[in-house]
Structure formats: structure tokens, C-alpha cells
Structure 1
């Protein structure tokens, strides 16, 4: 949620952001954060169709934004913890 973990957790952070499956873990983390938001939106007073549409819009749009920015989010989290950012030649530019 934006906080830096203690130094003894750097191994876990490195594993979470560099080992196979890091994209899936990032998406699960995002969905875990969005679930309470979506529940809150669903409880707002409105017709059920509008509530469903608002929840769907919030969930789909935020998931899309996370999916297209996986690499940038990963780089920011690695830098936040003082870990080296791997160079990804598929992105067409060096890490910034």
C-alpha cells in the first residue's frame, strides 16, 4: 500500500518482483485492494443495474491500467526498496 518494508524483508520483495509469476502476484494484490472498494461502491444507494455498472467500470478500468503498466509499477517498487531494476530489452528503452 505504498509503504517500504523493513530491510529483513528485501529477499521477499526481490522474489515477489523478479521471480516467475510476478505479474500474476501483482494482479492478485491489485484485486485484493480493489475488492473492498467495489463492495463499498455496490452498497451505495441506487438501482441494482447502476450499482453493477459502477462496480464493473471501477474494477475493469483499474485492472486495465495495472495490466498496461505492470513494468513501470514493478520498477517503482524495486526502486522504492533500493533493489536493482532489471533491464528489459522488450520494452525498447532502458529503465528510467
Structure 2
């Protein structure tokens, strides 16, 4: 895996995936992450990193087997669709949070 200048630490990446702001030293990495080709895929992948453990916990709730499968699946599908639909707004918000301007359309 090629590291870019300003790559955050593994803990920094977890914080970033959870929506926290990274230090100013990571600004170039954030710009690359949110403006380079494939940014939508990276947003969806980060979302999955957060949601899969949540869905696994939902599967541990008591109930019949069909409920243990349906509830996590519904949560994963609904949240992923929401992120896919609002990815432009999520990107704009994250760029603003890091003091960066969104690219022109």
C-alpha cells in the first residue's frame, strides 16, 4: 500500500471514519481522499467499516432467527443507500470541517 504525505495513523483513520476532524498536518491527505477519483467508493467503504460491527451487534439481539438476519440487513441496506444518495453533501461537509473548499462542479 502506497502512503501519501500526511497519511493519518491507524487511530487517526478510525477517528476520520467516525467523522472526527484530523489535525492540519493531514489536510493534503483529506483533500486527496475527498477529491481524487474514487472518492465515492471510499466514502461507502468507510461507512461499511463503521456499520458492519454495528450490524454484527444487532444480530446478537434476542429473537427469532429471521429477525436476527432481517434487522442488521435492513440497517445496513438503509444506511448504505442513505450514504450513497447524500455522498456529495457528506463530502462537502467533511471538506468544510477540514477548512478546504469543495471542488467546482
Counterpart mapping for 1:1-96 below 5 A: 1-88=18-105
- In the TM superposition, what whole-angstrom CA distance separates every residue of 1:56-80 from its partner, at most 9, and x where no partner exists? 1100000000000010000000000
SS in structure 2 opposite 1:86?
Answer: coil
For structure 2, the 5+ residue unaligned runs are 1-17
2: CA distance, partners of 1:19 / 1:72: 16
TM-score (normalizing by structure 1): 0.89
Q: What do you get for the CA RMSD once the two structures are aligned?
A: 0.7
For structure 1, the 5+ residue unaligned runs are 89-96
Cα deviation, residue 2, structure 1: 2.4
- How many residues align? The count is 88
TM-score (normalizing by structure 2): 0.81
